[in-house]
Amino acid sequence: MPVSLSRQIAFEVLRRVEAEGAYASDLLHTELKASVKPTDAALATELTMGVLRWRRLLDFLLERALKKPVERLDLPVALALQLGAYQLRFLEKIPPRAAVNESVELVKMARKTSAASLVNAVLRKIATQAHSPAEEFLPPDIVRAERLAILHSHPTWMVERWLSRLGESQAVALLEANNRAPRLSCAPNDASRREDVMRGLEQAGMRVVPGQLLKAAFAVSGGSPTRTEEFRRGLFSIQDEASQAIPLLLGVRPAERVLDLCAAPGGKTSALVRAAGNTGFVVATDRHAHRLRATQMQFKRLGLGGPHLLELDATQPLPFRGDFDRILVDAPCTGTGTLARHPEIRWRLRPEQLAQSREQQSRMLTMALARLAQGGRLVYSTCSIEPEENEGVIAEILNNLPSIRRLPSSEAARTLAPSVSPGTDSSTLFTPDGDFRTLPPAYHADGFFAALLEKA
């Protein structure tokens, strides 16, 4: 029997994620062309992201039947088993026979015919247990962190950190949020046309609801907004609400000099360009030329007068003669606040990488502050929820640079207040120290951190 297009796409995307270190969201964006039916696109996305989110639990269940680690299997065989197990346990509308048979066909398609009988036997056994709670299969003496890590499909070391820092209730809420499909949030290019854009998307058959964090934002479901005329015309961009909030924290005013380090792919930069206006001067930099080209394409789609683009390494002294009134350092990070959107990160990340990230982030921030004008404001942000990359970096900088101060919480909250949704108290988004923070369980947004700094 032929394998459905949706399963073929999911299988190939998962293979490339594992073999090439690619990101599933990027690959799906490339694979799901307009010629792919919406139903096939939706199932391919569900299968790909579902397997990546639930990989550890799926492997735990599979290994009970295999009697050996999944990692010892050839990659195509492991992927076929994971895809089948995910459908059997999580997708009730798919007949078990279809889930098993198409997984068998996938290994044949991958020229692993000798494994077809193994895949068939293992998945048939999984099918008989599909409605049994996974907790029934855990050893009775399993420790708390390991139990939660298996049931919620995360690395044990990550769960141990969150239990220690957040407590069990908040840690479990975070684990659960990481395993839900993220909210598809959008930012209008022109806030005054927001209602028109929302109506256009509704007429295209999508469900559109207001944002929960920002009054200009909205969220869509029930279709692919990138296939709409409104998206092609540059009337909106897809961007998480917490990410949308970061450039607003700078409080950019017309005619100011603005620097956006690590700017690609340009979502935050576009907000800075709009705020600076025709009289402003905006420079956007990135270390990789291909990412700057993507930024340029983004500005072309939006119809905005683009910033000055510059390829550079932000850990080295910045090659500017003048200083900047506003600087955004949206630093490269481990991305632990985006595990629902990028589930593969949880399987790639190692604890020692936190220290490596912190060293790079501290260097970037130091270089950026050297180019901040007196009285100017800098926002340091990450999509990480780990203290080493956030509070730890800021504490080090404040200790080494006495001329830099952190904006107090009340002042930081006032900066964002005009932009938050009705009924939202902007002060609840800031810590007592004045840092902006979101966690995935709240507002259906990614986990972001931002510190607002000024130079005396």
Q: 16 and 102 share a domain?
A: yes
Q: 85 and 216 share a domain?
A: no
User: How far apart, in whole angstroms, are the C-alpha atoms of residue 193 and residue 171?
Assistant: 39
What is the domain-level CATH number for residue 327?
3.40.50.150
**Omega before 139 cis (within 30°)?**
no
User: How far apart, in whole angstroms, are the C-alpha atoms of residue 12 and residue 336?
Assistant: 25
Query: Beta strands 448-455 and 436-438: pairing type?
Result: antiparallel
Position 285 scores a pLDDT of 96
Question: Range of 102's domain?
Answer: 5-137
Contact 212, 443 (CB under 8 A): yes
- Dump the DSSP string for 206-274: -EEEE-SSBTT-EEEESS-GGGSHHHHTTSEEE--HHHHHHHHTT---TT-EEEEET-TT-HHHHHHHH
Q: 26 and 66 share a domain?
A: yes
User: Average pLDDT for consecutive 10-residue bins of the chain (456 residues)?
Assistant: 91 97 94 90 96 98 94 97 98 96 96 95 96 94 97 98 97 98 95 96 95 96 91 96 97 97 93 94 94 92 90 96 96 97 97 95 97 97 97 97 95 95 93 95 93 96
Residue 399: inside a domain: yes
Q: 259 and 227 share a domain?
A: no
Q: Which of 109, 137, 165 is the last residue of a domain?
A: 137
Q: Is 262 a catalytic residue?
A: no
Q: 292 and 318 share a domain?
A: yes
Position 442 scores a pLDDT of 85
Contact 13, 28 (CB under 8 A): yes
Give pTM, 2 decimals. Answer: 0.94
Position 306 scores a pLDDT of 77
Number of domains in the chain: 3
What is the domain-level CATH number for residue 201?
3.30.70.1170
Which residue, chain included where needed, has tokens 């000055």?
A: 308
Position 187 scores a pLDDT of 97
Q: 275 and 303 share a domain?
A: yes
Position 425 scores a pLDDT of 93
Q: 413 and 268 share a domain?
A: yes
User: Collapsing DSSP states into helix, strand and coil, what is residue 370?
Assistant: coil
N-to-C CA span, the chain: 71
Residue in 186, 262, 333, 383 annotated catalytic: 383
Contact 10, 47 (CB under 8 A): yes
- Dump the DSSP string for 309-326: EEE--TTS----SS-EEE
Position 443 scores a pLDDT of 83
Which residue, chain included where needed, has tokens 């270190």?
A: 21
Contact 324, 372 (CB under 8 A): yes
Residue 162: inside a domain: no
Position 1 scores a pLDDT of 63
